[in-house]
Chain A
C-alpha cells in the first residue's frame, strides 16, 4: 500500500506517494533529498534526526511520513534565509557550538523551538531543552552558549535606521 503525503517542507509544498511504513527521516533524506537531517541511533535516543513538525521538535526516526501528512516540516536546510544565516546558526558559528557537526542540525532546531517559547533561557532551561539530543563530542558547554547567543540576538531590538539627510 502507498500513502499520498503532502507537506510544507521548509516553506515550500512537497508531496510524494510513499510506502505506508516509510519513516519521516527517510522521507526527508531519500524522497525529498535533504540530507542535513541525520540518522544517528535510529532508536529514539540521540536526537540527530530532530526536525520541527508544526514548529515542535520531533524525532523523525520515530514518526511515519504518513503521520505528518498536512504538516509543516522544517529541517536544518530551512534555517538560512536569502543567503543569511539564521541567528541560531550564527550562534553555533560564533560560540564554537559544533565540533564534528553530526548532532548540530538537531541541536539547532531544538534551540530554535526553545527560543520561540522562551527568548532568554537560562543555562538550566537550555540544558533541559536539549536533554533529548546527544553530542558525542560532548561539546555541550558551547552548544548552550550558542543557543543563548541566538536568543540575545533574536530578542535584541532592531538597529536604529541610519538617518539620511
Chain B
C-alpha cells in the first residue's frame, strides 16, 4: 500500500475506531477526550492527502475522474460492491471541512455537554460515526459504497437530535430520519438502476454515462436528483430541515448544516451529473427553476421567522439554492461556484449555529422578540454574530460572496431568456438574504438590552473562542483567496464537464 492509500483508510478508520474507543473508555470525560483526539488525528490524516499525482500530465483521452490517491479492494462481488476510495479536487476540500468541523464539535463537547440527554461520551462517539459516514460518502468511488456510507449517517444523526435536542426533539428527529431515508431509498433504486444497466459500480468508469441509454439516464437522473434534493435540501423537499436544525443540539446543527447537507450537493455533482450527464442536461432547466424558487422562498420565509435557529436553518435553504443553481447551469463557472459555495456555507453556517447556540445557552431563549441589545452586554458575541451574518449575506471579501455571485454569473453566461430570468431572480434573492440577515442583526444586536440579554457578561469561554476562531479565519481566507478551493477543483470540473453533452 502506498502512503496515500494508508491515509485514505486512516481517514475512515480512525474516526470509526475512535468512536468505539470513546464508547469503551471508562469515565465520561476521558471518553470525550479520546474522541476529540481521534477527531484531531482524522484531520491530520486528511491534510496530506493533497500531495499526490494531480493528473495534469499525460497525453490522450483521460478519464473524467482522476483521483490523486485511490484504493480499490473487492468486498461483495455478488452485489457489485467494491471498497473503492479515492480523493480529488472536488472532494478534498469537503473532506478537510468535515474533519475540521467534527474536531471543533468534539472539542466544544469536551467543554460543554448539551443538557437534557445522555452522556457526553455517547454524543462524541455518535459525532465520530457521523463523520465516518460523511467522509466515506465524499471518498467513495464505488456507487454502492457511496450509497452505503450515505446511509451510515442517518441513524447516528437521528440519535444526536433525539438524545440531546430541544423540547420537541423526538418528532423532529423522526421527521429527519424518515424524510432522509426516503431520499436514501430513491438513491438505492437509482444506484442499482445504473449498476444493473452498466454492469459496474465503478464511478471512474461510469462517469460520462458509460454507454447508458438515454431513457436509463433520464430515469436514473430523476431518481438520483430526487434523492440528493431531499438531502441538500432543495425546495419543496426541505421541510425536514427547519425542525431538525431547531431541535438539534448546537454541535448537531453545526454538523448538519456544515457538512451533512453537502452530501446532497456533492452527490449531485459527482454521481447524478457524472453518471447520467444526458439526464442532467435534460433536467437542468427544472433544477435551475427549483433552485431559484428555493432562493426566493427561503429568503421570504426567513423574513418572517421569529426564532434564531429556525431563521438560520431556513437561510440554508436559500444558500443551497445558490449551490444548486450553480450545478444546474452545467458550466465550469457554475460548478466552481457550487463547490466554493458548499465550503463557504459550511464554514459560515457552522459558525452561525455555534453563535446561535451560545446565545441560546446564555439567554435560554431563541425568540427574536425576547432578544435585543446584545452588543450592550456581550459586545464580543454580538461582533462575531455580525461578522458571521455579513459573511453569510455575501459581502465581497468574505467566503459567502464567491459562490453566490458566480452562480448568478454562470446563469447569465448560460444565456437564453430562461437562464437570464433565473439569474435576475437569484440576484434579487441575494438582496433578500441581505434584508433578513440585517433584520436579524437589528433585532438581536441593537436596541436596548431585553430582560433575557441584560444579565449577560461580556466574556467568552476559551473553548468557545478555540472552536470559533478557525471558522472566522477560514471565512476570511476563503473570501480573500478563493483559489484555496478553486485551484484544486478547476481540473476535475473541466474533466467532468468534458463528458457532459
Q: Do A and B bind each other?
A: no
B residues adjacent to A (C-beta < 8 A) = none
